[in-house]
Amino acid sequence: MTFQLALAGLLGLCVGSFLNVVIYRLPLGQSLVSPPSRCRKCGYSLQWYDNIPVLSWLFLRGRCRKCGVSVSMQYPIVELITGLLFVLVVWMTPPGPLMASRLLLVGILIALFGIDLEHQILPNSITLPGIVAGVLLSLIAPPGWKDALLGVLLGGGVLYAIAAGYYLWRREEGLGMGDVKMLAMIGAFLGWKAVLVTLVLSSFAGALIGIALIAAQRGGMKLALPFGTFLALGALAAMLAGEPIVTWYAGFF
């Protein structure tokens, strides 16, 4: 098991390195494969030894090898978090299609988290193929295709209703269609029960942060983090601890 976990961690670090590229380039409409990574300031082409997850950043003390401009801490953090989550998923999940489906979902959620945080968008080029992938995987892995389709309908439907209601009430967009598609995708991967858990957890986390920001007089709800980041956190929690949460919650009825 130790060997599998070490392998999962290494794979996660490398996937995290790729996710950094996705987070930076996809919203700009740039290719994800070429050209190779460059310094944003001096254009220095990163060599393989500049691209080793976490280690290169530490070794270069967060600076470009050539011009010394500082390189965002986001890079090693995304790599580390992806590595840790991969270890956790492999530790918790029996080998098979479910493990593959969960690792894929982890990667997608981290990319959406980063992109929403930086650009306040949730690209269709991730969420729509994500819905298809989730439904296809549900044919061979839990939650099964019925739960997955219900998850898509419930996830998309609930947020669409909230978004439409908010628009009718305030005449402005409170929730984007990106959030709607993202929760539909989460439903495709995790099923309808997890959609409810995700929604409760992310709304709760969003409200807490919103209140904290208002209390700190940093502005109104408008300044709160984009909802997609909370959906990503909520979905990760629902995936890793969904069953216990549902059991605990159902205990109140």
Least Cβ distance, residue 7 to Zn ion (angstroms) = 33
Q: Between residues 65 and 119, which has the closer beta carbon with respect to Zn ion? A: 65
Q: Would you tell me which residues interact with Zn ion (CB under 5 A)?
A: 39, 41-42, 44, 64, 66-67
- Cβ atoms of 123 and 26 closer than 8 Å: yes
d(CA 189, CA 134): 4
Identify which of 167, 182, 188 has the alpha carbon closest to the alpha carbon of residue 226. Answer: 182
Dihedral angle over CA of 63, 69, 73, 78, nearest 10 = -80
d(CA 178, CA 99): 26
Least Cβ distance, residue 64 to Zn ion (angstroms) = 3
Least Cβ distance, residue 36 to Zn ion (angstroms) = 14
Q: Between residues 61 and 170, which has the closer beta carbon with respect to Zn ion? A: 61
Least Cβ distance, residue 78 to Zn ion (angstroms) = 20
Q: Between residues 67 and 223, which has the closer beta carbon with respect to Zn ion? A: 67
Q: Between residues 50 and 116, which has the closer beta carbon with respect to Zn ion? A: 50
Dihedral angle over CA of 110, 114, 120, 124, nearest 10 = -50
Q: Between residues 41 and 218, which has the closer beta carbon with respect to Zn ion? A: 41
Least Cβ distance, residue 68 to Zn ion (angstroms) = 7
d(CA 23, CA 181): 18
DSSP 1: -
Residue 10 class from Cβ within 10 Å (0-12 exposed, 13-18 middle, 19+ buried)? middle
